[in-house]
């Protein structure tokens, strides 16, 4: 098995680690939401790439077809995309509310104002 030939796993690892790093290291709340989206996208790439079977056909009964690809991972990812968009919208709306309340979207400044009050 070729080590670099599994590029879909490398894309998954790079997206996951960059999203996780951004989620942990960023102090800006919008950057944290972007990191969360990168992390979610890495999971989407992983499930979609593992759901395809090499040489597999569409799961419709036909003559001469023995190997089928499973459509369930793709269906689950469609649902996950909708949930991801909803959680992003909720996160951004909460960030707007935090901006109105504290005057900043930097995590350190919000924490400092919360401790002082």
Structure tokens at 24: 């942990």
**What tens digit of pLDDT does each residue of 37-53 get?**
999 999 999 988 887 77
The percentage of the chain sitting over the pLDDT mark of 90, rounded to a whole number, equals 62
Name the pTM for this structure: 0.83
Task: List the one residue out of 100, 116, 102, 99 whose CA is nearest residue 33.
Answer: 99
What is the distance, to the nearest Å, from the Cα of residue 32 to the centroid of all Cα atoms in its chain? Answer: 12
Of 109 and 7, the structure prediction assigns the larger pLDDT to: 109
Phi, then psi, of 69 in degrees rounded to 5: -90, 145
In order of their start, the domains of the chain are 7-52+65-116 (1.10.287.3510)
């Amino acid at each position: 098995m070729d080590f670099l030939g599994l590029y879909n796993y490398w894309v998954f690892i790079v997206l996951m680690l960059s999203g996780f790093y951004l989620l942990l290291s960023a102090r800006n709340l919008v950057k944290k939401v972007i990191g969360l989206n990168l992390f979610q996208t890495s999971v989407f790439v992983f499930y979609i790439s593992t759901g395809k079977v090499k040489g597999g056909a569409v799961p419709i009964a036909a003559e001469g077809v023995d190997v089928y690809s499973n459509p369930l991972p793709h269906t689950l990812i469609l649902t996950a995309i909708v949930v991801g968009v909803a959680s992003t919208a909720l996160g951004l709306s909460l960030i707007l509310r935090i901006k109105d309340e504290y005057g900043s979207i930097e995590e350190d400044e919000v924490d400092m104002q919360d401790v002082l009050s």
